[in-house]
């Protein structure tokens, strides 16, 4: 189970259209019993639009299918992006 301070990926549902579906690093700041999580998402500066550098998103659903607006473990990537 993910705990607070774990790094995950958040799949962008917003910002400029070309970044939709891209992963951004995020830290879990709260985990709800149903598996959803509150995250602080680290944006790619102004490349991700005028949303600020760190974005708080709440009750984000976990998914390994990379749906927009979901989170997944950073080490589950098939394409290698984000692997440590």
| 23 or 28: CB nearest Zn ion | 23
CB atoms within 10 A of CB 2: 14
Q: Which residue among 8, 12, 23, 39 contacts Zn ion (CB under 5 A)?
A: 23
CA distances from 44 to 15, 24, 41, 53 (A): 10, 8, 10, 7
| 33 or 42: CB nearest Zn ion | 42
| Minimum CB distance to Zn ion, residue 40 (Å) | 16
Q: Which residue ranges make up the site for Zn ion (CB under 5 A)?
A: 9, 23
């Amino acid at each position: 189970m993910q705990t607070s301070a774990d790094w995950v990926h958040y799949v962008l549902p917003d910002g400029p259209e070309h970044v939709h579906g891209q992963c951004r690093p995020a830290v879990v700041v709260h985990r709800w019993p149903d598996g959803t999580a509150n995250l602080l998402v680290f944006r790619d500066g102004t490349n991700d639009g005028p949303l600020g550098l760190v974005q708080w998103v709440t009750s984000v659903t976990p998914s390994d299918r990379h749906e927009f607006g979901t989170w997944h473990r950073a080490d589950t990537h098939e394409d290698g992006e984000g692997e440590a």
